[in-house]
Chain A
């Protein structure tokens, strides 16, 4: 393939397969953007996410498989069984490049198999094979068995574990042993289709349109990444780069970021123990990385002593450490390491499960649940006090197997909370039904806005701005970039004020665009999408895009592509019933100011938040009051079909509303 290859469609109900050229969708780039475009067309609103009419898209982008830094990633998307909205998750490793060596950029799974199967893909043939002997096995066993079965230790395996098979609503997908597409329950969608794994091995080459230009541009990108603040942080301290490091930010801003005890505390004695320095001292043996990436942020741990001796894996992921330790009053890094291995092997989102545990502990502390209720839930043994190891480990296991109380928890913490009552719902930090991360965003107002707007639910990865943590006196290029790309120069001073509301909407929009592009090019946000931690711009994306695919594009084209991608996801959600009410922050961040620490007193002022939201909608060309999209904006993005469909449903901003803009 040169630049782009093919999209493979597979219908598991009748075994039909067909292909189309990815190039048709080049204006959505690939990866996440391609998935959004495909899902809007292929999925009808209101389908059962665990039924045969949901469609699962697994796509990578035009830089995957090359030596563009971190050209290693794919997105897996569908209607989410956890939220009912746009489900989407991203993962690295080596699976995505291999898909490209087999000639494909994307696999689209339709229908449902009656029996467990797996998909085997090479550039010569695609087969649906029986997976009866794999069903029930954990993801590591599954990968070993498939490599042996195919007599190929270089086979790339993407699979689900018992959690996905049992339709845990936040089950995840694991590839290459140590990588996860964690969020929104894509593992459950795979499980509902009885698809155990997708294995791929490609002997064909990936080519680029202008090799010499591509080579030079990639070397330049490698240099940019190598000199970046992101590199400094994550190369040393792994993905947990910002944990435990009081020295990272002299103003101590990051101390205001981390939440303890499900974001009810802001200081903790144990925090220093979970930083990179400690992990190097106790467990890490080396650095590891994804395909073509020089960040090497994934470190390898080997727990040598104690009850979990022999626990080995790449990690620990930052969110996982939040949810196995920091946020739930945890005391043991070793337990976090072991728990993390369980999540990998069961194929379950550490984040959503950890938030469930955190919620249970908070409900118990506040008397929202009591021993009698625990008895009713077949959990009379449960003592959900902060940090209780038995609680943590047993709940993980029961949920993965949907046994006892695990069957209730497997529905997702917010869905479970709804069964208990409004007090329980209130405690869960969520937007659109997906829980927020381990970081506490009450002080970081841009991050707050981003969480509420994120198209897949509460999440920092779709646009939380890192600029807010820099303050004045940072690299002078940053102010220039602001004036050039983001908004009016006089607003810059406000953008760097962490706790201020002003200037945050354009900053969030900028960050959303960079992340959308990263996620669509098949590269990693750590390298490409986290300005100003890495100084990467739409022009950089444009140059790699053009030299790889031969399609001429400018930085402006890239920004427009990012807008297109965001608008498709927004439209998908609107079609499923999302309104302005779904673009709101978690109530607890509104009603409960921080009680301690350097940002004591910070909270989300809902009026100021709604002013930010109004401004965001207007800057995006949407209706100021409802947030609904306009025909004018959608047609400018060549999404006329989207406008037509939304209009039929009465979910397009009316002409009267448009006139106001």
Chain B
């Protein structure tokens, strides 16, 4: 996936994660849950850390702001939109009815639903880069998550590849979709 021609306006910067640096402290998830809801629970966050305790793997799972987003394709209500000035893909909460199809469609398992959601009208948790100034990055001491320029194509693609692979590993080992891991 090295498309350089975008099918949509793209963000200037991307959130990328290095799973060899990530310590699994989940401070990013706490920061996210706090800025979104003024409450603490990593299950409310748009960035989650996938852990394999036996082998020490800690992989940040977060929206990759795809050029050809499958969530947009899947959404029956066109509730996933790109803001034209920032290029950021986010959820229009007015249009969203919480069906959760986007979560199932995401190839990175990066979209999840708030655990206290009503069954038929879930609150969707998808990273919107905090409008362009991501909170999680500020709290990550070890800089496992970085907010990098769009020109860093190679790093962005490598991070996505790793995330795809770690998702497959999780789903093979636990027979559960990654979007439910929270």
Decide yes or no: A288 and B41 within 8 Å by CB, A153-B181, A176-B53, A222-B139 being known contacts: no
Distance in angstroms between the alpha carbons of A285 and B20 in the assembled complex = 8
Interface residues of A in 195-209 (CB under 8 A from B): 202-208
Interface residues of A in 272-331 (CB under 8 A from B): 285-294, 296, 300, 302, 312, 314
A158, chain B: closest CB distance, angstroms: 14
Distance in angstroms between the alpha carbons of A312 and B56 in the assembled complex = 8
Distance in angstroms between the alpha carbons of A205 and B39 in the assembled complex = 6
Distance in angstroms between the alpha carbons of A633 and B25 in the assembled complex = 41
| Residues of A close to B31: CB separation below 8 A | 67
Q: Which of B34, B40, B55 contacts A312 (CB 8 A)?
A: B55
Contact A66 B116 (CB under 8 A): no
Decide yes or no: A290 and B37 within 8 Å by CB, A67-B139, A205-B44, A285-B56 being known contacts: no
Interface residues of A in 243-292 (CB under 8 A from B): 285-292
| Residues of A close to B174: CB separation below 8 A | 153
A77-121 interface code vs B (CB 8 A; 1 in, 0 out): 000000000000000001000000100000000000000000000
Does A236 reach chain B (CB closer than 8 Å)?
Answer: no
Decide yes or no: A292 and B26 within 8 Å by CB, A151-B176, A176-B53 being known contacts: yes
A294, chain B: closest CB distance, angstroms: 4
Does A178 reach chain B (CB closer than 8 Å)?
Answer: yes
Does A65 reach chain B (CB closer than 8 Å)?
Answer: yes
Contact A67 B116 (CB under 8 A): no
Contact B40 A294 (CB under 8 A): no
Distance in angstroms between the alpha carbons of A65 and B24 in the assembled complex = 15
Contact B40 A300 (CB under 8 A): no
| Residues of A close to B38: CB separation below 8 A | 207, 211
Does A177 reach chain B (CB closer than 8 Å)?
Answer: yes
Count of A-B contacts with CB under 8 A? 95
Contact A292 B23 (CB under 8 A): no
B12-34 interface code vs A (CB 8 A; 1 in, 0 out): 00000000110111110011011
Interface centre among A206, A285, A292 (most CB of B within 10 A): A292
Distance in angstroms between the alpha carbons of A291 and B181 in the assembled complex = 17
Decide yes or no: A296 and B142 within 8 Å by CB, A153-B176, A176-B53, A291-B25 being known contacts: yes
Does A591 reach chain B (CB closer than 8 Å)?
Answer: no
Distance in angstroms between the alpha carbons of A203 and B54 in the assembled complex = 25
Contact B41 A206 (CB under 8 A): yes
Interface residues of A in 103-144 (CB under 8 A from B): 140, 143
Decide yes or no: A290 and B25 within 8 Å by CB, A177-B53, A203-B115, A312-B56 being known contacts: yes
| Residues of B close to A291: CB separation below 8 A | 25-27, 30
Contact A67 B30 (CB under 8 A): yes
Contact A203 B24 (CB under 8 A): no
Interface centre among B27, B40, B176, B182 (most CB of A within 10 A): B40
Contact A286 B56 (CB under 8 A): yes
Q: Which of A151, A211, A293, A302 contacts B25 (CB 8 A)?
A: A293
Contact B53 A178 (CB under 8 A): yes
Contact B115 A207 (CB under 8 A): no
Decide yes or no: A203 and B142 within 8 Å by CB, A211-B34, A286-B21, A289-B25 being known contacts: no
B101, chain A: closest CB distance, angstroms: 22
Distance in angstroms between the alpha carbons of A293 and B27 in the assembled complex = 7
| Residues of B close to A286: CB separation below 8 A | 20-21, 23, 56
| Residues of A close to B182: CB separation below 8 A | 154
B60, chain A: closest CB distance, angstroms: 14
Does A226 reach chain B (CB closer than 8 Å)?
Answer: yes
Contact B116 A204 (CB under 8 A): yes
| Residues of B close to A176: CB separation below 8 A | 53
Interface residues of A in 169-191 (CB under 8 A from B): 176-178
Contact A289 B40 (CB under 8 A): no
B91, chain A: closest CB distance, angstroms: 20
| Residues of A close to B56: CB separation below 8 A | 285-286, 288, 300, 302, 312, 314
Interface centre among B54, B55, B116, B170 (most CB of A within 10 A): B54
Contact B27 A287 (CB under 8 A): no
Does A215 reach chain B (CB closer than 8 Å)?
Answer: yes
Decide yes or no: A65 and B40 within 8 Å by CB, A222-B139, A288-B24, A300-B56 being known contacts: yes
| Residues of A close to B43: CB separation below 8 A | 101, 154, 203
Interface residues of A in 208-239 (CB under 8 A from B): 208, 211, 215, 222, 226
| Residues of A close to B27: CB separation below 8 A | 67, 291-294
| Residues of A close to B33: CB separation below 8 A | 205
Interface residues of B in 46-77 (CB under 8 A from A): 53-56, 58
Contact B142 A67 (CB under 8 A): no
B166, chain A: closest CB distance, angstroms: 13
| Residues of A close to B26: CB separation below 8 A | 94, 291-292
Contact B21 A207 (CB under 8 A): no
| Residues of B close to A294: CB separation below 8 A | 25, 27, 141-142
| Residues of A close to B139: CB separation below 8 A | 67, 222
B20, chain A: closest CB distance, angstroms: 6
| Residues of A close to B176: CB separation below 8 A | 151, 153
Interface centre among A151, A205, A291, A293 (most CB of B within 10 A): A205
Contact A207 B40 (CB under 8 A): yes
Distance in angstroms between the alpha carbons of A1 and B33 in the assembled complex = 15
Contact A154 B142 (CB under 8 A): no
B165, chain A: closest CB distance, angstroms: 17
Interface residues of A in 364-408 (CB under 8 A from B): none
B19, closest chain A residue (CB): A286
Distance in angstroms between the alpha carbons of A314 and B57 in the assembled complex = 11
Interface residues of B in 91-118 (CB under 8 A from A): 115-116
Selected A-B contacts with CB under 8 Å, 24 pairs: A65-B40, A66-B30, A66-B40, A67-B30, A67-B139, A101-B41, A143-B53, A204-B41, A205-B33, A205-B37, A205-B40, A205-B41, A215-B34, A285-B20, A286-B21, A288-B24, A288-B25, A291-B25, A292-B25, A292-B26, A294-B25, A294-B27, A312-B54, A312-B55
The 9 residue pairs across chains A and B that have the minimum distance between CB atoms: A205-B39, A300-B56, A294-B141, A203-B115, A177-B53, A289-B25, A67-B30, A206-B40, A289-B23
Binding site for A on B (CB under 8 A): 20-21, 23-27, 30-31, 33-34, 37-41, 43-44, 53-56, 58, 115-116, 139, 141-142, 170, 174, 176, 181-182
Sample of 20 more A-B contacts, CB < 8 Å, known A153-B174, A207-B38: A66-B40, A203-B116, A204-B116, A205-B44, A206-B41, A207-B39, A211-B34, A287-B23, A288-B23, A288-B24, A289-B24, A289-B25, A291-B26, A292-B25, A292-B30, A296-B23, A296-B141, A296-B142, A302-B56, A314-B56
